A and B are shown apart, each in its own frame.
Chain A
Amino acid sequence: MKLLHKIAFLFLISGLLITSSCKKSFFTDVNVNPNVLTTVSPNLLLPTVEAALAYTQGGDISRYSALLMQQMYGANSQSQQYYQYNFNPGNFDNLWPDLYTSTLENNYTLIKISDAGGYNGYSGISRIIMAYALQVSVDLWGDLPYSQAFQGNVSGGSLHPTYDKAAALYDSASKLIDAGIVFLSAANQGTITPSTDDVIYGGDAAKWIKFGHAIKARLALHQSKGSTTMASTALSEIAQSFTSNAESAQYIFGTQETSANTWYQFYRDRPGDENFKSSSLAIQLKASGDPRYPFYNMDSTDSKGNRTSYFNVINAPVEFITYDELLFMSAEATLRVSGDLAAAQTLFQAAITADLTKLGVPQATITAYVAANGTLTGTADAAIAKVAAQEYIALFLNPETWVLWRRTGSPALTTTSPGSEIPRRLLYPQTEINFNGANVPANVTLYSPKIFWDN
Chain B
Amino acid sequence: MRKLLLLTILFLSFAAIVQAQTKEVTGKVTDSTGAPLAGASVNIKGSRGGTSAGPDGTFRVTVPENATLIISAIGFAPREVSVRGVTTVSVQLLTGSSAMSEVVVTALGIRREKRALTNSQQTISADQLNKSGTGNPLGELEGKASGLTVINSTGDPGGGTYIRLRGATSITGNNQPLIVVDGVPIDNSINNFDATAPAGNSASGANGNLTGGQQPTNRGNDLNPNDIESINVLKGPAATALYGIQASSGAIIITTKKGGAGKRTAVSLNSSVTFDKVGMLPKLQNQWSQGSKGLYSPPEAGGSTSWGAAIDTLYWDGATDYPFDKHGNIVGKSSASAKTPVTPYDRYNNFFQTGLTYNNSIALSGGNDKSGYRLSLGNLSQTGIIPRAKYEKTTLSLSGQTKIGDRLSTSAGITYTNSTNYKIQQGSNISGVMLGLFRTPITFDNSNGYGKNGYKHKDAYEFPDGTQRDYRGGGGYDNPNWIVNNNPTHSDLDRVFGFGQADYAVNSWMTLTYRLGGDVYTQNDKTVYDLHSNASPAGALYLINYTNRQFNSDFIVNLHKNFSDDFGGSLILGHNYFTLSQNNVFTNGNGFNVKGFYDMSNAQSVQASEAQVRKRTMAFYADAELNYKKMLFLSITARDETSSTLPAANNNFFYPSVGLGWAFTELPGFKEDKHILSFGKLRASFAQVGKDAPIYALTTPFSNAVFSDGFTSGITFPANGSSGYQISSAIATVGNPTLKPERTNSYEGGLDLGFLNNRLTFNATYYYSKSTDGILPVSIPFSTGFAGELLNATTITNKGLELTLDGTPVQTSYGLRWNVIVNWSRNVSKVVALYPGITSFFMGGFGAGEAGIFAVPGQPFGVIYGSTTPHSDLTNLKSPLLIDDRTSSTTYAQPLSGGVGPNQVIGNPNPDWIGSVISNLSYKGFAFGFQIDVRHGGALWNGTRGALANKGTAGETSNRYQTTTFKGLLGHLDANGNVVHNDANSVEKPGPGATNTVASTFTQNYWQSTGNSFGGGQETDIENGGFTRIRQMSLSYELPKALLGKTPFTALSLTVFANNLHVWTKYDGVDPETSLGGPSNVQGLDYFNNPNTKSYGLRLNVGF
Identify the A interface with B (CB < 8 A): 1, 4, 7-8, 11-12, 14-16, 18-19, 22, 24, 26-28, 30-40, 43-45, 47-48, 51-52, 55-56, 59-60, 63, 78, 88, 90, 94-98, 100-102, 104-106, 108-109, 144-145, 149-153, 157-161, 196-197, 199, 252-254, 256-259, 262, 265-266, 268-272, 429-432, 434-436
Question: A52 to chain B: which residues have CB within 8 Å?
Answer: 705, 707, 715, 726
Q: A28-B648, A94-B709, A430-B848 are in contact. Are A47 and B717 (CB under 8 A)?
A: yes
Shortest Cβ distance from A72 into chain B, in angstroms? 13
Question: Is there contact, CB below 8 Å, between A30 and B615?
Answer: yes
Q: A8-B8, A38-B699, A257-B591 are in contact. Are A100 and B724 (CB under 8 A)?
A: no
Question: Is there contact, CB below 8 Å, between B11 and A196?
Answer: no
Question: B784 to chain A: which residues have CB within 8 Å?
Answer: 149-152, 157-161
Question: Is there contact, CB below 8 Å, between B720 and A47?
Answer: yes
Q: How far is the CA of A192 from the CA of B538 in the complex (A)?
A: 39
Question: Is there contact, CB below 8 Å, between A269 and B713?
Answer: yes
| B-side interface residues, number (CB < 8 Å) | 86
Identify the B interface with A (CB < 8 A): 1, 4, 7-8, 11-12, 15, 19, 302, 475, 504, 506, 512, 537-538, 555, 575, 577, 588, 590-591, 604-605, 607, 609-612, 614-616, 618, 642-645, 648, 651, 695-696, 698-703, 705, 707, 709-717, 719-730, 732, 734-735, 779-787, 789, 839, 847-849
Question: A94 to chain B: which residues have CB within 8 Å?
Answer: 709-711, 730
Q: A37-B701, A38-B701, A101-B730 are in contact. Are A257 and B780 (CB under 8 A)?
A: no
- Contact with A51, one of B605, B695, B711, B720 (Cβ below 8 angstroms): B720
Question: Is there contact, CB below 8 Å, between B713 and A160?
Answer: no
Question: Is there contact, CB below 8 Å, between B604 and A257?
Answer: yes
Question: A35 to chain B: which residues have CB within 8 Å?
Answer: 609-612, 703
Q: What are 11 pairs between A and B in contact, CB < 8 Å?
A: A18-B577, A22-B1, A31-B698, A35-B609, A36-B703, A40-B725, A44-B702, A47-B720, A153-B700, A258-B588, A436-B781
Question: Is there contact, CB below 8 Å, between A102 and B729?
Answer: yes
Q: How far is the CA of A109 from the CA of B703 in the complex (A)?
A: 13
Question: Is there contact, CB below 8 Å, between A199 and B720?
Answer: yes
Nearest CB in chain A to that of B580: its residue: A30
Nearest CB in chain B to that of A95: its residue: B709
Question: Is there contact, CB below 8 Å, between B730 and A97?
Answer: yes
Shortest Cβ distance from A336 into chain B, in angstroms? 35
Nearest CB in chain A to that of B705: its residue: A48
Max chain B CB contacts within 10 Å: which of A12, A32, A36? A36
Nearest CB in chain A to that of B605: its residue: A256
Q: How far is the CA of A231 from the CA of B1037 in the complex (A)?
A: 98
Q: How far is the CA of A440 from the CA of B849 in the complex (A)?
A: 20
- Contact with B643, one of A27, A60, A149, A436 (Cβ below 8 angstroms): A27
Question: Is there contact, CB below 8 Å, between B615 and A40?
Answer: no
Question: Is there contact, CB below 8 Å, between A36 and B712?
Answer: no
Max chain A CB contacts within 10 Å: which of B475, B506, B724, B848? B724
Question: Is there contact, CB below 8 Å, between B709 and A258?
Answer: no
Question: B11 to chain A: which residues have CB within 8 Å?
Answer: 8, 11
- Contact with A60, one of B537, B611, B644, B711 (Cβ below 8 angstroms): B711
Shortest Cβ distance from A256 into chain B, in angstroms? 4
Q: How far is the CA of A324 from the CA of B618 in the complex (A)?
A: 67
Question: Is there contact, CB below 8 Å, between A55 and B715?
Answer: yes
Q: How far is the CA of A144 from the CA of B313 in the complex (A)?
A: 59
Question: Is there contact, CB below 8 Å, between A266 and B712?
Answer: yes
Shortest Cβ distance from B642 into chain A, in angstroms? 6
Question: A145 to chain B: which residues have CB within 8 Å?
Answer: 781, 783
Question: A38 to chain B: which residues have CB within 8 Å?
Answer: 699, 701-702
Question: Is there contact, CB below 8 Å, between B709 and A48?
Answer: no
Nearest CB in chain A to that of B785: its residue: A105
Question: B705 to chain A: which residues have CB within 8 Å?
Answer: 47-48, 51-52, 102, 106
Q: How far is the CA of A257 from the CA of B717 in the complex (A)?
A: 11
Question: A253 to chain B: which residues have CB within 8 Å?
Answer: 720
Question: Is there contact, CB below 8 Å, between A265 and B714?
Answer: yes
Q: How far is the CA of A18 from the CA of B720 in the complex (A)?
A: 49
Nearest CB in chain A to that of B722: its residue: A47
Closest A-B pairs by Cβ, 4 of them: A105-B785, A259-B719, A152-B784, A436-B781
- Contact with A15, one of B8, B707, B714 (Cβ below 8 angstroms): B8
Shortest Cβ distance from B128 into chain A, in angstroms? 40
Question: Is there contact, CB below 8 Å, between B722 and A431?
Answer: no
Max chain A CB contacts within 10 Å: which of B699, B712, B713, B730? B712
Question: B713 to chain A: which residues have CB within 8 Å?
Answer: 257-258, 265, 269
Shortest Cβ distance from B480 into chain A, in angstroms? 21
Question: A95 to chain B: which residues have CB within 8 Å?
Answer: 709
Shortest Cβ distance from A434 into chain B, in angstroms? 7
Q: A105-B786, A435-B780 are in contact. Are A27 and B711 (CB under 8 A)?
A: no
Question: Is there contact, CB below 8 Å, between A51 and B724?
Answer: yes
Question: Is there contact, CB below 8 Å, between B785 and A151?
Answer: yes
Question: A158 to chain B: which residues have CB within 8 Å?
Answer: 784
Question: Is there contact, CB below 8 Å, between A44 and B724?
Answer: yes
Q: How far is the CA of A47 from the CA of B707 in the complex (A)?
A: 13
